[in-house]
Amino acid sequence: MEILMIQGALGFFALSLLFLLLKLTFSWWVSPIQTHLKLKRCGFGGPPPSFPLGNIQEMKKKNNLSPSIGSSMLTHDIHSTVFPYFSRWQNSHGKVFIYWLGTEPFLYIADPEFLKKMSTEVMAKKWGKPRVFRHDRDPMFGNGLVMVEGNEWARHRHVIAPAFSPINLKAMASMMAETTNQMIDRWIVQINSGNPEIDVEREVVETAGEIIAKTSFGMKGKIAKEVSEKLRALQMILFKTTRYVGVPFGKCFNIKKALEAKKLGKEIDNLLLSVITSRMKSVKRQTQEDLLGLLLQGNHQGDGKLGETFTSRDLLDECKTFFFAGHETTALAISWTLFLLAMHEDWQNQLRDEIREVVGDQELDINVLAGLKKMKWVMNEVLRLYPTAPNVQRQAREDIKVDNLTVPNGTNMWIDVVGMHHDPELWGKDVNEFRPERFMDDVNGGCNHKMGYLPFGFGGRTCVGRNLSFMEYKIVLTLLLSRFSFKVSPGYNHSPAIMLSLRPAYGLQLTVQPLF
């Protein structure tokens, strides 16, 4: 009897194991091969993948270009430096092709006409976000607005969008100026101590972290700094080390880093939860019209009906999303601007003249800032050459027809913003030159396709915080240009790199001189 029971248990175990093996073989081998064949039948080419890494091996190959050391070799022709593999594959497979991260197929798109035809077919809430990135991005975004899909996305967006109304933005201006002035005071102390070389990227990212924490969550300086530092450390762990996204058991290759990331993610969650809990108890929570205030009241649907309240998990994920999405991209846009202005003294002077004429002694207010037209051209041109969000991602949740092609349900998409912004066929021969005046009479900077310029994404999922970023950009830049002049430091190593955002790999050292 006992022997029969043991045999039965062993049989069950063997069957379960067999079932698991069959399931894994299907999802890691059979299903990707089926998808590969389907995509080929649909007419999409691309570099041949191998099992189980897909094209990751080739993506890890270093490009031949060494970083340009010293300011005399600076070039803005960065596509082949930051995405060498896409640049190589474009030469042999064109601007739309399939490549593989492990066993996950990605449709690469750097053709704005293809993108236009594809996106007109799909409503914003029908777009998915690649599930394969979820694990990696979870500690930063959780299921916040950047990652959420379907009706849930529509509901979150509806609650969040009013936080960026002109009235709310107006209230944030003085806090932005105050925090920037604290950074300026630190710089003065450093310069007076005989060291005029400042890593502006580090400084501006820290300041932007404080700004978003104060303006969106009413956080105090110390805790904001702590969250910002932990997020930065988390990002370094997640995006600097060798990653095997999409590869079966890929997470196990870097178990130590994965555990470190998990621990940091938990610490960030706890810090933000403490802020949320104390705001929930506070009497001010109903009246404070910052992002957290709106989320705490977040069960209105705007049509008089009651919706569902955000759970505390939703709140936490939105806070993380805004903290990360809201400071890093803007801070890097400001940093790359200071770098480009340091290379182009004429533009530094033109902006200073504009600030004197438009702002003068007035308070920095959203209406006054709207008059800084040249500064807006500069911002547009900086985000063209150095798009701080270097790609946009989608996943098809249904088959999508583009002319006689079909993009099958489930296909991941990688839209190469850096590639399009540096494409001479879209912008002309001067594509890699810094020429802000190209935006003087054209919001698309003279690009010959209206979807060739996408610093804030496209369609209904376009960046919800862009107006906040315009305001912050103008305030920080106005205050800095009014106090200092900038030159590229001889020690600066020009190595733009992708660590989720497009950032200077070794910081951005500028020589900073007070103007008076």
461 lines the binding site for ligand HEM (CB under 6 A): yes
The helix/strand/coil state of 38 is: helix
293 lines the binding site for ligand HEM (CB under 6 A): no
What is the nearest approach in angstroms of ligand HEM to the Cβ of residue 467? 9
Which position among 101, 132, 146, 172 is part of the footprint of ligand HEM (CB under 6 A)? 146
What is the distance between the alpha carbons of residues 83 and 317, in angstroms, rounded to a whole number?
Answer: 30
Q: In what order do the strands lie in the sheet with 412-416?
A: 96-101, 104-109, 412-416, 391-395
508 lines the binding site for ligand HEM (CB under 6 A): no
105 vs 326, beta carbon nearer ligand HEM: 326
What is the distance between the alpha carbons of residues 17 and 222, in angstroms, rounded to a whole number?
Answer: 52
322 lines the binding site for ligand HEM (CB under 6 A): yes
54 vs 445, beta carbon nearer ligand HEM: 445
47 vs 128, beta carbon nearer ligand HEM: 128
Which position among 326, 452, 504, 507 is part of the footprint of ligand HEM (CB under 6 A)? 326
Stretch 463-502 residues interacting with ligand HEM (CB under 6 A): 463-466, 468-469
What is the distance between the alpha carbons of residues 417 and 386, in angstroms, rounded to a whole number?
Answer: 10
Contact assessment for residue 323 and residue 317, using Cβ atoms and an 8 Å cutoff: no
Stretch 378-417 residues interacting with ligand HEM (CB under 6 A): 383, 388-389, 392
**What is the full DSSP assignment across 281-330?**
HSGGGGT--SHHHHHHTTTB-SSSSB-PPPPHHHHHHHHHHHHHHHHHHH
Token code pair at residue 434:
């810094």
**What is the full DSSP assignment across 190-219?**
HHHTT--EEEHHHHHHHHHHHHHHHHHH--
81 vs 329, beta carbon nearer ligand HEM: 329
Phi–psi pair at 398, nearest 5 degrees: -160, 165
What is the distance between the alpha carbons of residues 199 and 186, in angstroms, rounded to a whole number?
Answer: 12
What is the nearest approach in angstroms of ligand HEM to the Cβ of residue 404? 26
What is the distance between the alpha carbons of residues 462 and 466, in angstroms, rounded to a whole number?
Answer: 9
157 lines the binding site for ligand HEM (CB under 6 A): yes
Q: Quickly list H helices, 143-198.
A: 150-160, 166-192
What is the nearest approach in angstroms of ligand HEM to the Cβ of residue 252? 30
What is the nearest approach in angstroms of ligand HEM to the Cβ of residue 219? 14
What is the nearest approach in angstroms of ligand HEM to the Cβ of residue 396? 14
What is the nearest approach in angstroms of ligand HEM to the Cβ of residue 154? 9
Q: How many residues bind ligand HEM (CB under 6 A)?
A: 26
295 lines the binding site for ligand HEM (CB under 6 A): no
34: how many CB neighbours lie within 10 A of its CB? 12
133 lines the binding site for ligand HEM (CB under 6 A): no
Binding site for ligand HEM (CB under 6 A): 145-146, 157, 321-322, 325-326, 329-330, 333, 383, 388-389, 392, 455-458, 461-466, 468-469
